Amino acid sequence: MNTYQNTYDWDSVALDLDYDAEFDVDFDEAFAFDLEAAEAAPVTVPDLAVLAHSDYAERSRILDAYVRQEIGRVLGVAPESVDTTGRPMNSLGVGSINGMELQARMEAALGVELKLQSLLRANSAAELVDCLARQLGPGDGPLQRSAAPAATV
């Protein structure tokens, strides 16, 4: 068995590559994640009295903004970048750990009961918004409330 060993002085090896200065990206800066800033992002908790007296469309609008803020805070992204309609919660990046944080924050802020499994399996954040809108207002949503207690997410 023959073993070949070559030693290269990589400093002397000249690579003939065209260097494009406009493409020079500082990856540390371009992909920086500021966890402290994300955690300090303000979350405006909706007034429960306003939600109770708003129609379904207004309540959904208010809760959509709130849910975006909470998901953005938990994931460390800007609220306006949270896709509430097109992606399931797990596809957004909501896993079991940050899902528990999201569940606890929303339950404390809104006084509702959210089931973690349902939250994690939601088809979209809009589904979560719809469920919250139905729980927090009169029975004027697309699925009217019955006399029985409201279903929880």
> Concatenated DSSP letters for the chain?
---------TTTPPP-----GGG---HHHHT---HHHHHT----PPPHHHHHHS-HHHHHHHHHHHHHHHHHHHHTS-GGG--SSSS-HHHHT--HHHHHHHHHHHHHHH-----HHHHHT-S-HHHHHHHHHHHSS-S-SSS---SSPPP--
77: which residues sit within 8 A by CB, 6+ positions away? 38
Assign residue 86 the CATH number of its domain: 1.10.1200.10
Q: Classify residue 147: in a domain, yes or no.
A: no
Which residue type does 12 have? Answer: S
Per-residue pLDDT of 84-102, as tens digits, reads 888 899 888 899 999 999 9
Q: Classify residue 101: in a domain, yes or no.
A: yes
Per-residue pLDDT of 42-76, as tens digits, reads 888 999 999 999 999 999 999 999 999 999 999 98
Please count the structural domains in the chain.
1
Q: Classify residue 152: in a domain, yes or no.
A: no
Find the mean pLDDT for residues 99-119. 91
* Domain membership of residue 70 as a residue range: 48-136
Q: Classify residue 142: in a domain, yes or no.
A: no
Q: Classify residue 131: in a domain, yes or no.
A: yes
pTM above 0.85, yes or no: no
Q: Which pLDDT score, from 0 to 100, does residue 20 have? A: 56
